[in-house]
A = this chain, B = another copy of it.
Amino acid sequence: MKILLINPNTTEALTDLLGDAARSVLPAGTTLDCVTAERGVPYISTRTEAIVGGLSVLEILAQHHRNYDAAIVAAFGDPGLGAARELYDIPVVGLAEAGMLSACMLGAKFSIVTFAQALGPWYRECVEWHGLAGRCSGVRMLDGTFRDISDVQGEKADLLVELANRAIDEDGADVIVLAGAPLAGLAPQVRDRIPVPVVDCAQAALLQAAALAALKPVGATRGSFARPAAKGSTGLGDALAKRIAHEDAA
């Protein structure tokens, strides 16, 4: 089984973090490849940047989807996830989606804990889009800035543990979801300091991508995720334009 992890951020160091965390739970017989977006911002944290990142996801999938059994959109707000699911036949899972749904199986309410205030609005819209607001006990964000997006967890681990504990005590969280690509791999390191289950989204996403691939679902030809009819376009990358035009090989 082959899985593709797509980092919609342009920072290679984040791709490495995500890949390392995902590989730590890689089932036997499964391989993981990682691709970093070439267009976009170093780290997506706004609605604007999610649109840019979503387009990068679609373009990367246009180039690579035929070689994989499942794919991961590896930014917490799941940019482009619905579009990817509509346009391609392989299972595609989002980092936020995998983390939140895994959390749902470990308790009744999960709280999302992340490292920057800027992420809150986008993350909350992501929770709503997934229809999981009723399961989410809150989104908690650290105040202040960080030095380096690729070493956020080194810098902020203690503060994040403290914030997670407040989410448990004050918001009633049964499970903590450590959110954001820069936190990939942190959960296993801090779980002994947090008195409820903690989900690592990169691990969860890899496991869910593998699980979905194992179910061998057919690509939808009806319903709201059936592949759209062929259409011409202007100004898109070549592979994506061909996919939209049904001019890629069947």
Contacts and interface: CB of A to CB of B under 8 A. Distances in A.
Interface of A: 10, 25, 27-29, 38-42, 45-52, 54-55, 58, 80, 82-83, 85-87, 91, 93, 97-98, 101-102, 104-109, 118, 120-121, 124-125, 128-132, 134-135, 168-169, 172-175, 187-188, 191-192, 194-200, 203-204, 207-208, 210-212, 214-218, 220-226, 228-229, 231-236, 244
A55 B40 CA distance: 12
Contact of A102 (B51, B128, B215, B234): B215
A192 to B, nearest CB: 7
Nearest to A87: B48
Given A168-B223, A192-B218, A101 B107 contact: no
B223 A107 contact: yes
A197 B214 contact: no
Contact of A223 (B49, B173, B222, B234): B173
Contact of A244 (B48, B87, B130): B48
Given A39-B235, A101-B101, A134-B131, A28 B25 contact: no
A216 B188 contact: yes
13 contacts: A25-B214, A28-B29, A41-B233, A42-B232, A48-B58, A91-B105, A97-B105, A106-B225, A107-B220, A107-B223, A108-B125, A108-B225, A207-B214
Of A97, A98, A200, A220, the most chain B CB neighbours within 10 A belong to: A220
A169 B222 contact: yes
B220 A196 contact: yes
Contacts of A86: 46-48, 121
Contact of A46 (B83, B128, B168): B83
Given A47-B82, A223-B168, A228-B45, A215 B235 contact: no
A229 B101 CA distance: 28
A42 B244 CA distance: 12
Contacts of A40: 233-236
A168 B224 CA distance: 10
Given A174-B220, A222-B168, A224-B172, A10 B234 contact: yes
A215 B175 CA distance: 13
A43 to B, nearest CB: 8
Given A48-B83, A197-B218, A234-B40, A174 B225 contact: yes
B125 A135 contact: no
